[in-house]
Amino acid sequence: MDDSVPEYSSWASILGVAAPAVIQSLAAPLTSTLQTAWLGLYGSPALAAYAAVNTSATFALKIFVFFGDGVSAKVGNLVGQKDWHGLFITVLLSLLWSASLGTAAACVLLLLKPLVIHHVLDLEPRVLAVVAAYWTVRAAAVPLAMTNMACTGVLQGLHRVTLCAALNTGQAVAESCLSAAVLLGGVRFLGAGALVSMGWASLLTQAAQLVACLTAVHAALPHQHGSLRGAWAGETGPRQPLLEEEAGEDEPALRAPCADFLPASTAPLLVSDAGGSGTLPPDAAADGTDAHASAPSPANHQQPPTAPASASRAFLDDGVNMLLRSITLQATFFAALVAASRLGTAALAAHSVVAQLWMLSAYAVDGFAAAGIVLGSRLAGAADDSDQGGDAALKSLRRLIRRCCMAGTAFGAATGATYLLFRRPLIRLFTGDAEVAALLGGSTWTLVAAMQPCNGLVFVLDGLMYASHNFAYVRDYMALGFALVFAPALALELWVWPSLVGIWAAKALYNFWRAAGGLNLVLRRFVREVEDRTRRRAPGPGPA
């Protein structure tokens, strides 16, 4: 067992992953927040159009969030297992599927544009005048953004979190500068209006980021162990001869006949030293048997490497579960947008501001969610090593969960307090329209601020959920919450209490449901599964 396992739950380790991840996660929402503020000064129709298109495009993008956090969890797990063949297959699948599904999502957005902007959303004529062209440009950027998301997931799984932060921050800074030039400096792209020119700025910076991301992924992959071309061709990795020469000795060393086909759980049984020879770990007896075990465990039977088709099926199964989860979550935002559009242009503009503030702390807390993904996955895998190692990993996992949840809740509370203390300056920052400011300054603002501690906890639990790999459970409890909590609450707002605060009250109730389901998953199911694996891996009694 690695002596550093207890350190995985230390504050130093958590902050070491969380700090660059916070920067990475905040880059895009800060850009969107700045754009919202500048558009609010530019005019309420432009802000309302931005809210309508941005929510729709974000829906198409965020339902595939598995390409970010899910790929990160899978890649990190494969690196920890030294399953290089599986790593290259997963990276290849991530890039291919993200590009393909991103293109499909863009086509669907374009096909649905007339239906959504003319029938689903109740937009005023002055808003419709600028929505159509902006919708087209935003849809064209979706494939680029989705492939960038997959690249970010791969790099984060390869523990290049700082590099991810640099790439995402660079794109966000470039887009913010171009947006400022458009909205504040009067610059226009291709003779288009202000909002469409801002869309072109986003598309161009996404394209530049994609080139940088693909280059970074190629450089970060361990090419000494394989290649993406080999994974595409279905190669199973290099084979080693049964006999291999040890450095400095005349006699060949005998390799385990199936050493090349060791599964991840048994790979540590053969440790390679600098000379390339196979050596036994310290807890192995001289005759080649495990000093702790009286008989080999069925879990240690050697398996051939995973076939590409099998890896693809597993990838798609997890992806579909998380796709359904993400569709459910994004449907709450889209349904809230539709409800807000029926309250008028001022309410829709205010709704756009509230949506930015609601999610701003989410992206900041996402750094601790990333720590839960990276470190939680390592600790869950470490529980399989040995009895003592499993106990240490389980204890460290509990500590990691506790500390990440505390950090998320505390960060959310601080954000909510900031919203309350600086209510008036923040409202003036986002809008100069008196009607929009009046809608923001009442109970809606108080509700958003009060929900921030719960939101912070929910977003951390999302990260720990990826570490648990209980994707089917997540799919089910998200769908149940939508049907039993959010939909009835939003229906009440539409038919009985039409108001902006009613819309966000429905979102608040849904997040309470998510917090309860996430705590049940992480504190009960996830920890219990790790405990069960630790017991199964516990060494049996030695020979009499």
What is the rounded (10 degree) CA torsion for 148, 477, 336, 146? 10
Instruction: Check if the beta carbon of residue 76 is closer than 8 Å to that of residue 374.
Output: yes
Most confident of 84-88, 156-160, 353-357: 353-357
Confidence bin at 24 (pLDDT 50/70/90):
confident
- High-pLDDT (> 70) share of the chain, %: 79
What is the pLDDT at residue 18?
80
* Helix, strand, coil shares, percent, the chain, to 5: 75, 0, 20
Asked if residue 126 lies in contact with residue 45, where contact means CB atoms within 8 angstroms, the answer is: yes
Q: How much is the mean pLDDT over the chain?
A: 79
Q: How far apart are CA 310 and CA 395, in angstroms?
A: 33
Q: At what angle do helices 500-519 and 471-481 cross, to 10 degrees?
A: 150
The mean pLDDT of 263-274, rounded to a whole number, is 36
- Ranked by mean pLDDT, the top range of 60-64, 82-86, 89-93 is 89-93
Q: Phi and psi (nearest 5°) for 272?
A: -95, 130
β-partners of residue 416 are none
Residue 140 reports pLDDT greater than 50: yes
Where is average pLDDT lowest: 199-213, 310-324, 327-341, 448-462?
Answer: 310-324
Q: What is the mean pLDDT of residues 518-529?
A: 89
Q: Which of 20-34, 269-283, 366-380, 495-509 has the highest mean pLDDT?
A: 495-509
What is the rounded distance in angstroms from the CA atom of residue 232 to the CA atom of residue 90? 11
- State the pLDDT at residue 87: 85
Mean pLDDT of 488-511: 93
% of the chain beyond a pLDDT of 90: 32
Residue 223 has pLDDT above 60, yes or no: yes
pLDDT digits (tens, 9 = 90+) for 271-297: 333 333 333 334 434 343 444 443 444
CA 161 to chain centre: 13
In the Cβ-directed half-sphere of 301, how many Cα atoms lie within 13 Å?
Answer: 3
166's CB contacts (< 8 A; 6+ apart) are none
| pLDDT reading at 115 higher than 60 | yes
Confidence category of residue 302, pLDDT binned at 50, 70, 90 = very low
Angle between helices 142-157 and 125-140 (to 10 degrees): 50
Task: Give residue 452's pLDDT band: very low, low, confident or very high (50, 70, 90).
Answer: very high
Token output for 264 = 């991840």
pLDDT category of residue 384 using cuts at 50, 70 and 90: low
Structure tokens at 275: 């000379």
Q: What is the pLDDT of residue 296?
A: 42
Measured CA distances, 457 to 13, 332, 407, 444, 482 (Å): 19, 19, 8, 21, 19
- The whole-number pLDDT of residue 405 equals 94
Confidence of residue 382 (pLDDT cuts 50, 70, 90): low
pLDDT over 90 (residue 312): no
Instruction: Please choose, from the candidates 295, 260, 256, 340, the residue with its C-alpha nearest in 3D space to the C-alpha of residue 82.
Output: 260
Burial (CB < 10 A; 0-12, 13-18, 19+), residue 3, is exposed
pTM assigned to the model: 0.68
Q: pLDDT tens-digit profile of 152-169?
A: 989 988 878 889 889 999
Report the range of poorest mean pLDDT among 89-93, 121-125, 502-506.
Answer: 121-125
- Backbone φ and ψ of 283, nearest 5°: -90, 15
Q: Which pLDDT band holds residue 178 (cuts at 50, 70, 90)?
A: very high
